[in-house]
Amino acid sequence: MSGNNTNELLNQIKVRYKKLSKGQKLLADYITENYDKAVFLTAAKLGKTVGVSESTVVRFATQLGYEGYPGFQKALEELVRNKLNSIQRMEVTYGRITQSEILETVLQSDAEKIKMTLANMNKDVFELAVDTMLEAKRIYIVGIRSCAPLAGFLAFYLNLIFENVTLVNTNSSSEIFEQLIRIKEDDVIIGISFPRYSMRTLKALEFASNRKAKVITLTDSVHSPMTLYSSCNLIARSDMASIVDSLTAPLSVVNALVVALCMRKQNEVIATLSSLEQIWDEYQVYSNDELNQVYDKVTLKVDGKGKEDI
């Protein structure tokens, strides 16, 4: 079956839907609505998720014209990769608003996602995540593509709180596994992934789980494939339909984690920040690039010597 048409799989489902069995229609409905999640599942796991047998899944793939489940899964991967380009995603979300409404609409949408995240966040799970990080010997953090800034932000602050924090370099799968090679049961890995979900992040969590490490996820749903290997799932609302991935609510959850950890390790954090202040002063880290607020004026240090009023 040709893969030139990025909507071909969905078209095949639509054309053949009436002739499908009851179980196959359940599969068709699930895949139509959740193809971004189904792409990560084996035939057995897909069947279990939908409530049908593995053989029904295989027959479904054949019924659509594919050579078994591997051929069907390859078409599913192409669908996820190409279903919506950036412009289409933008049109879906913002197609009905005028240019003058964009700022208000986007900010209100982000604010609403923070509210929904707060309303649905399991506080016990949040505390479990905090406790797990406090008890860990080493903390690994992995986030790919648009989630990389979240991972970097979290790693920056965790490095002020803990001694052994590793932000996993995610340029390639081999690099990921090389950095995780020593992960053990006393360690924890934090995986951050939102649609479109990252297979590399999922494989990293699987690798860590197989070595008995604790797994914490920050993702958008309990149905996210990232939860397959995690017993501590932090769920934050996101919006991946727009031209940019809205990760405002996930960033707020990251902020909450950092604050909670700082409160639990106040003495260590204060000592670290005091040492850093001395180091910054000694090595003049900020002296040549520093703005000082003095009363109603802002003064700018120039070459660490004179000052100019702004």
Mind spelling out the 3-state secondary structure of the chain? Answer: CCCCCCCHHHHHHHHHHHHCCHHHHHHHHHHHHHHHHHCCCCHHHHHHHHCCCHHHHHHHHHHCCCCHHHHHHHHHHHHHHHCCCHHHHHHHHHCCCCHHHHHHHHHHHHHHHHHHHHHHCCHHHHHHHHHHHHHCCCEEEEECHHHHHHHHHHHHHHHHHCCCEEECCCCCHHHHHHHHCCCCCCCEEEEECCCCCCHHHHHHHHHHHHCCCEEEEEECCCCCHHHHHCCEEEECCCECCCCCCECHHHHHHHHHHHHHHHHHCHHHHHHHHHHHHHHHHHCCCCCCCCEEEECCEEEEECCCCCEEEC
In a domain? residue 110: no
Judge contact between 274 and 257, C-beta under 8 A.
no
Closest CA to 183 of 214, 225, 152: 214
Pick the range with the lowest mean pLDDT from 52-56, 292-296, 304-308: 304-308
Query: Mean pLDDT over all residues of the chain?
Result: 81
> In terms of domains, do 124 and 191 share one?
yes
Residue 232 contacts residue 253 (beta carbons within 8 Å): no
Same domain, 150 and 231: yes
Q: State how far the Cα of 279 lies from the Cα of 191, in Å rounded to an integer.
A: 32
Q: Does 276 share its domain with 243?
A: no
Q: In this structure, are 212 and 274 located in the same domain? A: no
Do 287 and 210 fall into the same domain?
A: no
205 and 136 together in one domain = yes
Residue 195 has phi, psi (to 5 degrees) of -55, 140
**Cα–Cα distance for residue pair 196/168, rounded to 1 Å:** 19
Beta-carbon-side half-sphere exposure of residue 72 (alpha carbons within 13 Å): 26
User: 250 and 127 in one domain?
Assistant: yes
Q: Give the total number of structural domains in the chain.
A: 3
Whether 278 and 218 map to the same domain: the answer is: no
Q: Is the same domain home to 78 and 192?
A: no
Is 1 a member of any domain? no
Say if residue 304's pLDDT is above 80: no
- Give per-residue pLDDT as tens, 150-179: 999 999 999 888 889 999 987 777 788 888
**Residue among 203, 151, 216 at smallest CA distance from 177:** 203
Domain that holds residue 303: 268-309
Would 94 be classed as within a structural domain?
Answer: no
Of residues 188 and 13, which shows the higher confidence score?
188
pLDDT score at 285: 61
**Is residue 108 situated within a structural domain?**
no
Q: Is residue 300 assigned to a domain?
A: yes
Radius of gyration of the chain (CA): 24
pTM of the model: 0.64
Closest CA to 189 of 230, 243, 246: 230
How many other CB atoms sit within 10 Å of the CB of residue 184? 11
Q: What is the pLDDT of residues 200-257, one digit of tens each?
A: 899 999 999 999 999 999 998 888 888 888 989 999 988 655 555 678 999 999 999 9
260-302 tens-digit pLDDT = 998 888 888 888 777 777 776 766 666 555 555 555 555 545 5
Q: What percent of the chain has pLDDT over 70?
A: 79
In a domain, 257, yes or no: yes
Query: Residues 151, 243: one domain?
Result: yes
